[in-house]
Amino acid sequence: MTQHSSLKSSAGRRGQRRSVLKRMERLKILKQKQKRKNGDPVYGLPKVKPEG
């Protein structure tokens, strides 16, 4: 069987940055901006735009 065309990676997407950050990446950025302290809950985090 062949792979569906929507699942194949295209050449144009290889260098593109992700528009969604993982939880740990968001926590790291919030700590750098001093908007989060250790002990704060990890749920309900504010939205953070990726750098770059």
> pLDDT digit string (tens) for 4-34?
888 876 655 566 677 888 888 898 899 898 8
Residue 13's pLDDT is 58
Token digits of residue 16: 């593109």
**44, 51, 38: which is closest to 23 by C-alpha?**
44
Q: Are 10 and 37 in contact (CB under 8 A)?
A: no
Average pLDDT of 41-46?
A: 85
Supply the DSSP symbol for 49.
P
